[in-house]
A = this chain, B = another copy of it.
Amino acid sequence: MTTEKPLPGLLTPEASLHRLADDLAARFAGVFARETIDRYVFESYTALGRTAKVTAHLPVLAGHFTTERLTALAQAKGALSSDVCEVLFVCVQNAGRSQMAAGLLQLHGAGRVHVRSAGSQPAPAIDDAVAQVMAEVGIDLAVEFPKPLTDDVVRAADVVVTMGCGDACPVYPGKRYLDWQVRDPAGLSVGEVRAIRDDIDTRVRALLAELQPTPA
Contact = CB atoms under 8 A, between A and B. Distances in A.
Taken together, the copies of this chain in the complex come to 2
Contact of A173 (B11, B46, B55, B168): B11
A36 interface: yes
Given A9-B167, A171-B11, A178-B6, A50 B121 contact: yes
A120 B170 contact: no
A34 to B, nearest CB: 9
Interface stretch (A136-144, A147-155, A185-193): A147-155
Given A7-B178, A206-B1, A151 B50 contact: no
Contacts of A36: 33, 35-36, 39
A203 B1 contact: yes
A1 B178 CA distance: 10
A179 B179 CA distance: 42
Contacts of A149: 46, 50
Interface residues of A, number: 53
Contact of A55 (B32, B152, B167, B180): B167
Interface in A75-101: none
Interface of A: 1, 3-7, 9-12, 14, 32-33, 35-36, 39-40, 42-43, 45-47, 49-51, 55, 73, 120-121, 148-152, 154, 160, 162, 167-173, 177-181, 203, 206-207, 210
A170 B46 contact: yes
8 contacts: A4-B179, A9-B167, A35-B36, A42-B170, A45-B170, A46-B149, A46-B170, A50-B148
